[in-house]
Structure 1
Amino acid sequence: MQRMRETGFVVAACALALVAGCGDDGAASETGTVQVFVEPEDTIPEGLEPGTGEENIADGWKVTYTQFLVTVGNVRAGRTDAGETLVDPSVFVLDLKNAPATRYVIAEFQDVSAVRWNRFGFDLPNARAGVKTLPPTREDDVALMVENGYSVFFEGVIEKAGGESCPPPGDTCVPAEEVRFRWGFSAGTSFDDCATEDGLTGFGVPTSGTVAVKPTIHGDHWFFDNITTGVELTKRYAQYIADCDLDGDGETTIEELRQVSATDVFGDEYNITVPGDPIETAYDYVVAQARTLGDFQGDGECPTRTVLP
C-alpha cells in the first residue's frame, strides 16, 4: 500500500536548511493513526424494498443487485490551520456487493498529528491500467472496469407483482414483473469537503489511537426523484427502468436509456434540474446520479464535486 505524508512548512524548512532531523524540537508531539475504509451502503448488499419508508421504493418495486463494482482512491486530508496534508494516490477497483465484513482498507497514515483534520476528499475515477484491488474482488472484475474505463458498474433486477412496462411516448403497457439492468458508466468524479451527517467536516485523530475514516458508496441514487447536492431529501422510484425496456425483452440497456427522453419517463414527481449539462435523456439522469455516489461516514456528504477525465 503506497503511503505519503506531507507537512508543507516542515518540508520547506528542511529543503532550505538541509539539516538532518529538521523539525525535531526536542519534544515528542502527540500523534495517532488514520485508516481509510471504503464501505458500501446497505442498499448495495441488501437491495431496496418497496414501501412507504424513508428508504423504500415508493412505486412498489423491489431492487436486488447481483454485482456492484467501483473505482475508488486518491484519498487526501488536510488542516487549514497548519498547512499539513495527507495524500495516498492509490486507486482500487472494489467489489462492493461482496465486501468483507471488515470493509476495504485502502490507505493508512501513521504518526499523524493528533488534532482535527478539517479537510477530507477522495475520488471515484474512471478505471485505468495499473489500478489495484483487494480480495474478494476478482481480477476479471478489474479487467472489466479497466477495459471500459468505468468508475462504476452494477447489475441487478427490479421486481413487482403485477408490474408493467409502459414504453414512451404513450405506447400500450405490457406485463413486466421483472426487469433486469446491467449498466457501466465512465462518470469519474472527485469528492471534497466531506462532512459527517451532522455537518462536522473532516475527522479527529486520537492521541496514540486510530481513527476510521470511511468513504461510503451509496447504491440508490438512480432511484431518487431529484439530483441531490446536499442532504438526501428524496423519494425513490424505479418505474422508469421498466418503461425504458423499449423492446420488451425484460432488460433495460444503456442503449435504451439513451433513446428515451427524460420528459417522457420522469413525471411531475421528479425535479432533475441541475447546473451544467442538461438532463435530456434517461441516460443523462443516471450518469448525473452516478456522480453523486460518494458519501462520508455513512450518510455524510462531500458537497464539492468535480468531473474527472
Structure 2
Amino acid sequence: MKKLMLGLGLLGLASCGGGSGDLTITTYGEDYIEKEIPATAFADGWSVKFSKFLVTVGEVKVASHDGKVAAESMGARVFDVHKPGPVTVQSFTGLPAADWDTVSYAIAPSTSAEAGNASAEDVELMKTNGWSVFVEGVATKGTETKRFGWGFPTNTLYEKCEHPDLGAGVTVPNGGEEMLQFTIHGDHLFFDDLQSSDAKMRFDALAAADKVGIIGADGQITLEELAQVDLTQLPPDQYNTGGASKVRNLRDFVTALVRTVGHYRGQGECAPRVR
C-alpha cells in the first residue's frame, strides 16, 4: 500500500509498514562565494569577491536506481548563495526509510521560479533574462580592479550525485531526519582547464579582455568582451578544452565552467548533463 502526499509542488511517496523519516535539502556557496577567493588561491595573484551569486535550483529528485521515487519537487527557486547559508531548498516529510542511491537536481532557467532567499528583484532579473546563473563581483590585483556581472542561460541536470565518503544518494533514517546539501563552487568559474583535476584558477586573461573589448578598457569585463578573445591567443598550457566542442573563446570557456559549479555535500560530485 502506498500513500500519496502532495504539497507545495512536491511529491513524496511513503510506504506503509516500512518506517519513515524526513529529509531536508539545503544549498550553500561556501566561503569562496560568501566571503572571498583570496589571492593565494589564484595562480596569477588575483583575488575575487562576489557581491551576488544567483542560481535557479529545481527538479529535485530522490529515487533508487530501479526507478522507485521517494521524493520529487519540480518547482524552481532562485537563491543568492552569496548570502550566509546554508539555506533550505526543500523539506520532505514521511519518506520511506531506506537507502536511496539516486539524487539529482537542475540548475536551469525557469519562467515560473519563485524566491528561495533571493529578492523579488533578483527573481525577476533571472526570469526576464532567461538565466539560470548570474554572478557579480570584483577582482583585485595590487592597485588594479576589474568588475564583472555575467548572466548565463545554461540548462544543466546534475545526476548520480555521490560523496566520496558517504556514497551515492542518501539514506532516510527511520524516525529521524537526514540533511543533504547542493553545494555551489564559485571557484570553478576561474579554472584554466575543462577536464584536468590539476586545473588552476587564473584571472589575467579575463582581466586583459577589458582592453580588447567592444567598449574598450573601462574596468568592467563583459561577456561580449570575453567572446572577442580566441583561445588560440592564450598560452598553450592554459585554457585547455579537453576536446569539448564549440568552445573557441573565453566566453565559451567560462560558460562551460558554469556547468561545473553544482556539487553534492561539499566535495561530492554529480554527473552534469547538458540540456
TM-score of the superposed pair, with normalisation by structure 1 = 0.80
2:201 counterpart of 1:236:
yes
Report the secondary structure of 1:248's partner residue. coil
2:234 counterpart of 1:265:
yes
1:115-135 superposed Cα distances (whole Å, 9 cap, x missing partner): 21100000001131x211133
Distance 2:163 2:190 in 1: 23
Please, which runs of 5 or more residues in structure 1 have no aligned partner? 8-22, 163-176
In structure 2, the CA distance between the partners of 1:116 and 1:46, relative to structure 1 (3 Å rule), is same
Correspondence for 2:249 among 281, 285, 288: 281
Note if contact 2:154-2:259 (Cα within 8 Å) is conserved in structure 1. Answer: yes
1:8-43 superposed Cα distances (whole Å, 9 cap, x missing partner): xxxxxxxxxxxxxxx75xxx3221111111111321
Aligned letter for 1:295?
A: H
Note if contact 2:13-2:96 (Cα within 8 Å) is conserved in structure 1. Answer: no
Note if contact 1:240-1:266 (Cα within 8 Å) is conserved in structure 2. Answer: no
Moved beyond 6 Å, runs of 4+: none
Aligned letter for 1:197?
A: P
Note if contact 2:13-2:95 (Cα within 8 Å) is conserved in structure 1. Answer: no
Note if contact 1:243-1:265 (Cα within 8 Å) is conserved in structure 2. Answer: no
Q: In angstroms, what is the RMSD of aligned CA positions?
A: 1.9
Distance 2:269 2:131 in 1: 23
CA-CA distance at 1:278 after TM superposition: 2.6
**Structure label with greater radius of gyration:** 1
TM-score of the superposed pair, with normalisation by structure 2 = 0.89
Aligned letter for 2:221?
A: T
Distance 1:34 1:228 in 2: 33
How high is the sequence identity, in percent, across the aligned residues? 31
Normalized per residue, the structure richer in strand is 2
In structure 2, the CA distance between the partners of 1:271 and 1:83, relative to structure 1 (3 Å rule), is same
CA-CA distance at 1:82 after TM superposition: 7.5
CA-CA distance at 1:160 after TM superposition: 0.7
1:178-233 superposed Cα distances (whole Å, 9 cap, x missing partner): 1111110101111000001337110111111111121111111121121148xx44
Correspondence for 1:210 among 177, 190, 194: 177
2:234 counterpart of 1:251:
no
Report the secondary structure of 2:21's partner residue. strand
Distance 1:41 1:109 in 2: 24
2:74 counterpart of 1:89:
yes
Comparing 265-274 and 280-289, the one that deviates more: 265-274
Distance 1:191 1:235 in 2: 23
In structure 2, the CA distance between the partners of 1:194 and 1:266, relative to structure 1 (3 Å rule), is farther
Q: How many residues are aligned here?
A: 264
CA-CA distance at 1:289 after TM superposition: 0.5
1:218-262 superposed Cα distances (whole Å, 9 cap, x missing partner): 111121121148xx4422111111111121211111110111102
**Equivalent position of 1:300 in the other structure:** 268
Aligned letter for 2:106?
A: D
Note if contact 2:70-2:95 (Cα within 8 Å) is conserved in structure 1. Answer: no
Please, which runs of 5 or more residues in structure 2 have no aligned partner? 1-7
Report the secondary structure of 1:198's partner residue. coil
